[in-house]
Amino acid sequence: MPDGWVAGTLLIVEESFCRYARSVPEILEVESYRELANRVVGATITRGWADAYAAKKLNSSQAWARTVKGLMVTGTSRRGKLLVIETDSVALGMRFGMTGVLLIDGEAGIDGLFYGPHSFKQAWIRGGLEFNDGRRLILHDPRRLGRFEIDPDLESMGPDALTLTRSDFDGLVRITRGVGPAIKARLLDQSAVAGVGNLLGDEMLFQAGIDPRTPTGLLSTQQKDDLYKAFTSTVRTLKRRGGSHLGDHMDSRFPGAHCPLDGGAMLIETIGGRTTYWCSIHQV
């Protein structure tokens, strides 16, 4: 970390950071980071820094510092779990991995990181931007999976989950060859739909009453209708509640748990590479 990066204006203290350390950043959390990043629109970047982890998708860790210097921030956007800081030249992408949090000096953009750190450490700052008004935007990420990107590739990403239309959804569940992947795996496929993480995917299927192992191509018309309804309402409800980890099935994500709706045994399996929980009674 360059000299003076965290000194001075970074006001976070460990106790206040604890409140922010409770869940994996999914799309709703990244949307809250985007809202936080909006506060630097209009500011000019005077300095940037990235460690080797944050710069892993760039040519070098110096590329970030070289590219960002002198850029003016003109806006923010988001596609799935990718935050984009727009400037008067290139677009700057930020990904948050399993434990990444966006901070502007002492302000965090999220209310919880379930699997994340329960403390703030300077050593976990992976990089960031410094502005002409003295503020700093920082990526804090103990697990080192957060990444910076320059002009990120949006073409390879599916439509955004927070604004998914029925026609986007129909494309998501349309399978042209064979029966396709399990619906849970399909929901997690960022090229099919951008921004459904593990918790959000499980919650949607829980609400729709669908077995996550069901091949996408075998979903009935009724199941597709139910899943689209559950998709949009889950996103809305969890946004209102304040995070992806506040779904109805969350208290049943442990071996031996029972469904809060009908008492059915919760089943566990790895689907699409992620640990999936579902109810043996109402998810069929």
Burial (CB count within 10 angstroms: exposed 0-12, middle 13-18, buried 19+), residue 22:
middle
Q: What is the largest CA-CA distance in the chain?
A: 60
Would you say 20 or 206 has its CB closer to Zn ion?
Answer: 206
* Piece in contact with Zn ion (CB under 5 A), picked from 19-27, 35-43, 117-125, 254-262: 254-262
Binding segment (CB under 5 A) for Zn ion, from list 65-73, 88-96, 194-202, 253-261: 253-261
**Min dist. Cβ of residue 201 to Zn ion (A):** 17
The number of angstroms, rounded, from the C-alpha of 197 to the middle of its chain's C-alpha atoms is: 7
Which structure tokens are listed for 221?
């018309």
Residue 282 engages Zn ion in binding (rule: CB under 5 A): yes
When the beta carbons of 90 and 281 are compared against Zn ion, the nearer one is 281
Choose, by CB under 5 A, the member of 171, 215, 264, 272 that binds Zn ion. Answer: 264
In whole angstroms, give the CA distance from residue 5 to residue 85.
Answer: 20
Q: Which of 104, 259, 266, 271 binds Zn ion (CB under 5 A)?
A: 259
- Residue 262 in contact with Zn ion, rule: CB under 5 A: yes
The count of residues interacting with Zn ion (CB under 5 A) is: 7
Among 45-53, 168-176, 242-250, 262-270, the segment contacting Zn ion (CB under 5 A): 262-270
Other CB atoms within a 10 A radius of the CB of residue 165 amount to 11
Is residue 251 at the binding interface for Zn ion, with CB under 5 A as the rule?
no
And the tokens for 269? 């399996």
For the bound state, the minimum distance from the C-beta of residue 259 to Zn ion, rounded and expressed in Å, comes to 3
Q: How many CA atoms lie within 13 A of 113 on its CB side?
A: 28
Sole residue written with tokens 């060859």: 177
> Which burial class, exposed, middle or buried, applies to 13 when counting CB atoms under 10 A from its CB (0-12, 13-18, 19+)?
exposed
Provide the binding-site residues for Zn ion, judged by CB under 5 A.
Answer: 259, 261-262, 264, 279, 281-282
